[in-house]
Chain A
Amino acid sequence: MALDRSAKLALIGTAAGLFSGLFGVGGGSVIVPLLVLWLGYTEHEATGTSLAAIVFIAAFAAATQGFYGNVRLLDGVLIGVPAIAGVMIGTSLQQKLPARTISLLFAAVLVAAAIELLAE
């Protein structure tokens, strides 16, 4: 069963890595549901473990993108620094409330972003 478990982790990791590299995201939207579904993680454990895995994934993918000359350091700081404050707020909120309302709000923001991107 240990092998089975490792195989599942390998599959999740590969899928998340591909997603991350292709779209410039962390891959968490692949990792979290699969950890819950396949490995019986709780929602909170899945989000915590996903964030830790993302550190590796994003660092490697960013370095590879740097090799292609696509990374804009200053813009990364501009968006990344407020995001650090955001993640502190987000992890605290997560311990206190079921994410329902906030998830719906974000879904609406994402739909708006998608429409903007398609219209560009």
Chain B
Amino acid sequence: MTGVVLIGLMGGVLAGLLGVGGGVLFVPGLILFIGLGQHQAEATSLLAIVPVALAGTYRQNRFGNVRRADALLLGLLSLVGAGAGVALANSLSGRDLRIAFALLTLAVAIQLTRRALGDRPVKPSRQKNDPIQPGKS
């Protein structure tokens, strides 16, 4: 109970800081602390995201950070994908979905770390084929 409240709070902070829904924390929280199955956890997470995103939008709008036309277009254009994603999730076994979700979680963690560390641009070439001693004639 305390665990799920705490992870809800943390997911919300993450949502506000990073402009995400918080689901990447809600889903494991619902599985590990309440014992929901993967599908139920994902569905319940989506429900919890709605008021979080609404409150976050309200706040960000006051800071002048919401481009409303783009947001509306993005939201509407995502609905087909969202429906397809839900159908796909329900066609997979809970176990497969959980493994895929864990990999997603790791990918987000890596993305966060790279952004936090300044994400140095990838060097254009590894210079493996460059002359080893360019100074020598």
Name A's B-contacting residues (CB within 8 A): 6, 9-10, 12-29, 31-33, 35, 39, 41, 44-62, 64-66, 68, 70-73, 75-95, 99-104, 106-111, 113-114, 116-118, 120
Contacts and interface: CB of A to CB of B under 8 A. Distances in A.
Contacts of B59: 87-88, 91-92
A44 B96 CA distance: 35
Contact of A99 (B22, B28, B109, B116): B116
A25 B78 contact: no
7 contacts: A28-B19, A53-B74, A75-B44, A77-B48, A79-B48, A90-B14, A104-B112
A4 B31 CA distance: 41
B42 A65 contact: yes
B102 A80 contact: no
Interface of B: 1, 4-32, 34, 36, 39-57, 59-61, 63, 65-68, 70-90, 97-106, 108-113, 115-117
B21 A117 contact: no
The interface residues of chain A, by DSSP majority, are classed as helix
Nearest to A65: B43
A24 B89 contact: yes
Nearest to A116: B32
